[in-house]
Amino acid sequence: MNTLALSHEILMSIEKPARYIGHEINSVRKDPTKVDVRFAMCFPDVYEIGMSHLGIQIIYDMLNRRDDVFCERVYSPWLDLDAIMREKGIPLFALESQTPVKEFDFLGITIQYEMCYTNILQILDLSGIPICAKDRTESDPIVIGGGPCTYNPEPLADFFDLFYIGEGETEYYHLIDLYKKNQRDGGSRKDFLEKAAAVPGMYVPSLYDVLYHPDGTIMEMRPNHPNAPEKVRRQVVVDVTDTFYPEAPVVPYIKATQDRVVLEIQRGCIRGCRFCQAGQVYRPVRERDVEMLKSCAAAMLANTGHEEISLSSLSSSDYSSLKELTYYLIDVCREKRVNISLPSLRIDAFSLDVMSKVQDVRKGSMTFAPEAGSQRMRDVINKGLTEEDILNGAMEAFRGGWQKVKLYFMLGLPGETEEDIRGIAYLSDAIARQYYSIPKEQRNGRCAITASASFFVPKPFTPLQWAPMSDYKTYMDKAHIVNDCMKEQLNRKSIRFQWHDAKTTILEGVLARGDRRLCRVIYDAYRAGCLYDAWTEYFDYDKWMRAFDANGIDISFYTTRKRELDERFPWDFIDIGVTKQFLQREWKRSLAGETTPNCRAQCSGCGASVYGGGVCYESKD
Amino acid sequence: MKVRIKFTKTGPMQYVGHLDLLRYFQKAFRRAGVDIAYSSGYRPHQIVSFASPLGIGLTSEGEYMDAQFVTVDDSQTMIDRLNAVMAEGIRITQFLVLDEKERNAMASVAGADYRVTVRQGYYELVDFSDFCGEFLRQDAIFVTKKTKKGEKDEDIRPYIYEMRGTAEGLYLLLCAGSSHNLKPETVMEAFCAFLHMPYETFGFRIHRLDTYLQDDPDDITTLRPLGAVGHEAKTDHYETKE
């Protein structure tokens, strides 16, 4: 069998060789010589993570519907194979054809989290594509980035030819057509990029110059080509029902993180939690029609053979046909012996009924995300959840037979006091007290409450984008305050508290709100050996810090510095629909501890209505 | 009803491990829409087991699995339906219904035979088939086996039932199963040692031909393929019996 890029010897020397063999069920086979455009779609992390991502499956399906395009998949080689490829000079290949990525027309990379940035450089490097866009030639693929991190693409500006800002369903066909036309006309790579800059949602970083104030903040971001717009408008699929959805997603041989059918029920969120980037950048909320979802679910289960289906969206409880869809799926799945994995739902009679139908109450756990310990802090972040809601919800769950509760909190929120921090322990204990208020004979032993805290990272396009971060020691001190306070609680034996290390938080914070000057740092960190930074065991904070030092960059400029209300941010050239004025209003309300109602309760005039659809135009009954 | 399925595992599928192959089949049965039986409980699962796990990197045309079905169509229809949803490298070649009294595949495995060929670039000047007779004429063939407590010498000669040269390479018939599972790699390693040659881990292409049960445990001439015990399913014969 010579259809694999890697030799038998190599495949037998590495972990999980099935990551690299392609040929999966529903993977697309085309003759690469018989298409006009070859597109390599990459998730820059290991196969099992990348294969769990719905977005790639959507675009893969969408592009492969065209006979003139062959879209293939690429994932990061794990460290064992990485070493072998470098040693033996084996170029990175795409899974379907097992041929080198360098031969493709496009390399599309989805950028899901900041901690994958060095993995992007690994992909380029192993492919034999110059890491910096300016060094690429006519024989290199066009490197295009997409995904949530492109809402501030600036720290990656040097490495990409093009960023696609927004949802992939809208403009890819135009871009492909433009590429084909440019090829036919004998146009160069530069010609294509200049034309692409005029396509809605496309950002060609080389066509912009950035000027800085003496204090290091941005003075101006100036297009240097007439095709490059001052503002790049985020692309939105207005009708999420009449659009692309993969009915036969690729089924991996090895167990992926999401080894199941994923049904995306809606995009966006009405809630407006002030820390949440997804809650702003996917506005307005758009629901898929329930009949479409029913038919997609049936088709996907039949085509994949998966034994589990999960619903995916932000704040799924707000999906208006959730009851109808869930009860339908419960019926269908019981008959087909398919498990349903539910998203986090608001605790009410409906969700408890559904949960008791789909999980073993004795073993399962109930998850709450209060995000902050005190009511004051929850108001600051606009988490529309009161202590009463949480305690009543927990009580309902306990009465329903659940004993395990998971709680998610954030530390390091703006204006947080020691009392707010201790609130995490008080709330955890209050939930345990609810449990023990049930008469002994009606409960089943002890309850188990697991409280986890992560550190807040301010993200672009959120009302908290102005918030300063803390330094490492302050973060860890906060975690220790909670931990000590937990030990003072009455029900300490029923509560477990765990927290993340803040080093990742700090780097994530720098990259999230960073600018173009960080490209050099990312490059140096990669050259110094940083890779798989999202994997705690491989994350090397000190190497990163040395890369900052070597470039004369003080990270406090990006983390703890106070940002003025009128500061021009690196991402301000992107127009997400939601206006900066709205975000400023929300930031002020946040500082004042004032909450803002959700989109269905009352429109707050965020600006997302410019897209002409979704919740902004729902008839108000 | 108990069903025995014979299949191949070749090409890219040789790099898919045993547990992943099990998951692969569970999904394949769902895609094919066949009426396989499920366990009861919150997480119902298919009742499926393999005869003899094949190591990663080995290919085979003689793999077996047992599964419980509720209803079946005739064997050819079942084979066609399953093959319509198989990945490249997996082909269903037999679909047999077993008597309820029949021992399951895993418990009944007693032997397996293999075709061993030299992989390109290795042992170029060696004709292994010339030395099989000499190798087998030894009274004992000791190999060092790693156990939990350390290392232990074991005589594998009794478990090599047959070994001879063929037009393509070597033919090996070895003892398999729970009591003495002799891997073809172990035999080749011992063979190389006998010939005073270094053992190349990747030097051989090993292909399983079939897997066998044994009617009389003391008589290896009673080895029969695992697929010899079932019978073809016929449509109207096997409706659900409540």
User: Mapped to the 3 state alphabet, what secondary structure does A320-373 carry?
Assistant: CCHHHHHHHHHHHHHHHCCEEECCCCCCCHHHHHHHHHHCCCCCCEEEEEEECC
Query: Closest to B24 (Cβ–Cβ): which among A4, A11, A253?
Result: A253
Task: Answer for the pair A341, A64: CB distance below 8 angstroms, yes or no.
Answer: no
Q: Which two tokens stand for residue A324?
A: 């109808």
Asked whether the predicted pLDDT for residue A365 surpasses 90, the reply is: no
Bigger pLDDT: A355 vs A11: A11
Q: Tell if the CB–CB gap between B23 and A255 is shorter than 8 Å.
A: yes
* Residues from chain B contacting residue A307 (CB–CB below 8 Å): 26-27, 30, 45
Query: Closest to B12 (Cβ–Cβ): which among A4, A254, A305?
Result: A4
Residue A407 CB coordination number (10 Å): 24
Coil vs helix vs strand at A610:
helix
Query: Closest to A11 (Cβ–Cβ): which among B10, B15, B31?
Result: B15
Asked whether the predicted pLDDT for residue A342 surpasses 90, the reply is: no
Cα-to-chain-centroid distance, residue B198: 27
Cα-to-chain-centroid distance, residue B114: 9
Coil vs helix vs strand at A144:
strand
Asked whether the predicted pLDDT for residue A2 surpasses 70, the reply is: no
Name which of A494, A511, A398 is nearest A460 in CA terms: A511
In 3-state terms chain B splits into helix, strand, coil percentages (rounded to 5) of 25, 35, 40
Q: Are strands A69-75 and A37-43 parallel, antiparallel or unpaired?
A: parallel
Q: Are strands B204-214 and B170-175 parallel, antiparallel or unpaired?
A: unpaired
* Residues from chain A contacting residue B16 (CB–CB below 8 Å): 18, 21, 253-254
Q: Which two tokens stand for residue A155?
A: 């720290």
Q: Tell if the CB–CB gap between B12 and A9 is shorter than 8 Å.
A: no
Q: Which two tokens stand for residue A531?
A: 């890779």
Q: Give the DSSP H or E segment for B192.
A: helix B184-194
Give pLDDT, residue A364: 76
* Residues from chain A contacting residue B30 (CB–CB below 8 Å): 301-302, 305-307, 336
pLDDT above 70 covers a percentage of chain A that reads 99
Give pLDDT, residue A362: 66
Give pLDDT, residue A385: 86
In the β-sheet with A339-341, what is the strand arrangement from edge to edge? A261-264, A308-312, A339-341
CA distance B227 to B212: 8
Residue B178 CB coordination number (10 Å): 10
Asked whether the predicted pLDDT for residue A340 surpasses 50, the reply is: yes
Q: Give the DSSP H or E segment for B25.
A: helix B18-32
Contacts of A529 (CB under 8 A, 6+ apart): A540, A543
Chain A, chain B: beta-carbon pairs less than 8 Å apart: 76
User: Mapped to the 3 state alphabet, what secondary structure does A200-237 carry?
Assistant: CCEECHHHEEEEECCCCCEEEEEECCCCCCCCEECECC
Residue ranges of domains in chain A, CATH in brackets: 8-233 (no CATH), 260-356+596-621 (3.30.750.210)
Asked whether the predicted pLDDT for residue A560 surpasses 70, the reply is: yes
Give pLDDT, residue B138: 95
CA distance A96 to A81: 18
Coil vs helix vs strand at B15:
helix
Give pLDDT, residue A341: 85
Q: Which two tokens stand for residue B26?
A: 């569970």
DSSP per residue over A276-336, as a string? -SHHHHTPSPEEPPHHHHHHHHHHHHHHH--SEEEEE-SSGGG-TTHHHHHHHHHHHHHHH
* Residues from chain A contacting residue B11 (CB–CB below 8 Å): 1, 3, 23
- A148-171 average pLDDT score: 97
Q: Tell if the CB–CB gap between A22 and B85 is shorter than 8 Å.
A: no
Give pLDDT, residue A102: 98
CA distance B180 to B154: 11
Mutation to test the B interface, candidates A307, A333, A338, most B Cβ within 10 Å: A307
Convert the pLDDT of each residue in A19-68 to its tens digit. Answer: 999 999 999 999 999 999 999 999 999 999 999 999 999 999 999 999 99
Backbone angle region of A371, left / alpha / beta, with phi > 0 → left and psi within -120 to 50 → alpha: left
Distance from CA of B167 to the nearest CA of A (A): 20
CA distance A190 to A526: 27
Assess B117–A contact: CB distance below 8 Å, yes or no.
no
Task: Answer for the pair A498, A452: CB distance below 8 angstroms, yes or no.
Answer: yes
Q: Tell if the CB–CB gap between A305 and B27 is shorter than 8 Å.
A: yes
B178 — pLDDT class (breaks 50, 70, 90): confident
- A131-139 average pLDDT score: 98
Convert the pLDDT of each residue in A255-298 to its tens digit. Answer: 999 899 999 999 999 999 999 999 999 999 999 999 999 999 99
- A573-584 average pLDDT score: 98
CA distance A487 to B234: 69
What is the 8-class DSSP label of residue A19?
A: G
Task: Answer for the pair B163, B173: CB distance below 8 angstroms, yes or no.
Answer: yes
Task: Answer for the pair B216, B48: CB distance below 8 angstroms, yes or no.
Answer: no
Task: Answer for the pair B59, B14: CB distance below 8 angstroms, yes or no.
Answer: yes
Convert the pLDDT of each residue in B44-79 to its tens digit. Answer: 889 999 999 999 999 999 999 999 999 999 999 999
Q: Tell if the CB–CB gap between A18 and B16 is shorter than 8 Å.
A: yes
Contacts of A164 (CB under 8 A, 6+ apart): A108, A144, A145, A146, A150, A171, A172, A175, A201, A202, A203, A235
B99 — pLDDT class (breaks 50, 70, 90): very high
pLDDT, chain B, mean: 93
Coil vs helix vs strand at B98:
coil
B236 — pLDDT class (breaks 50, 70, 90): low
DSSP per residue over A549-583, as a string? HHTT--GGGTTTPPPPTTPPPTTTTEE-SS-HHHH
- A363-380 average pLDDT score: 90
Bigger pLDDT: A501 vs A587: A587
* Residue A138: φ, ψ to 5°: -60, -20
CA distance A515 to A500: 26
- B1-29 average pLDDT score: 96
DSSP per residue over A392-411, as a string? HHHHHHHHTT--EEEEEEEE
pLDDT, chain A, mean: 95
Convert the pLDDT of each residue in A406-464 to its tens digit. Answer: 999 999 999 999 999 999 999 999 999 999 999 999 888 899 999 999 999 999 999 99
Convert the pLDDT of each residue in A292-328 to its tens digit. Answer: 999 999 999 999 999 999 999 999 999 999 999 999 9
* Residues from chain A contacting residue B121 (CB–CB below 8 Å): none
CATH number of the structural domain B2-107+226-237 = 3.30.70.580
Among positive and negative, which fits the CA dihedral A48, A25, A58, A163? positive
Its pTM stands at: 0.95
* Residues from chain B contacting residue A6 (CB–CB below 8 Å): none
CA distance B1 to B97: 7
Q: Are strands A266-267 and A37-43 parallel, antiparallel or unpaired?
A: unpaired
In 3-state terms chain A splits into helix, strand, coil percentages (rounded to 5) of 40, 15, 45
CA distance B198 to B200: 6
Q: Tell if the CB–CB gap between B12 and A360 is shorter than 8 Å.
A: no
CA distance B80 to A102: 40
Q: What is the dihedral of CA A593, A594, A595, A599, to 10 degrees?
A: -140
Query: Closest to A21 (Cβ–Cβ): which among B12, B24, B201?
Result: B12
Give pLDDT, residue A620: 54
Buried b (16+ CB within 10 A) or exposed e, B224-234: ebbbebbeebe
Backbone angle region of B229, left / alpha / beta, with phi > 0 → left and psi within -120 to 50 → alpha: alpha
Residue B167 CB coordination number (10 Å): 6
In the β-sheet with A448-455, what is the strand arrangement from edge to edge? A365-371, A404-411, A448-455, A495-499
CA distance A356 to A410: 29
Name which of A109, A222, A226 is nearest A160 in CA terms: A109
Give pLDDT, residue B241: 45
Residue A620 CB coordination number (10 Å): 6
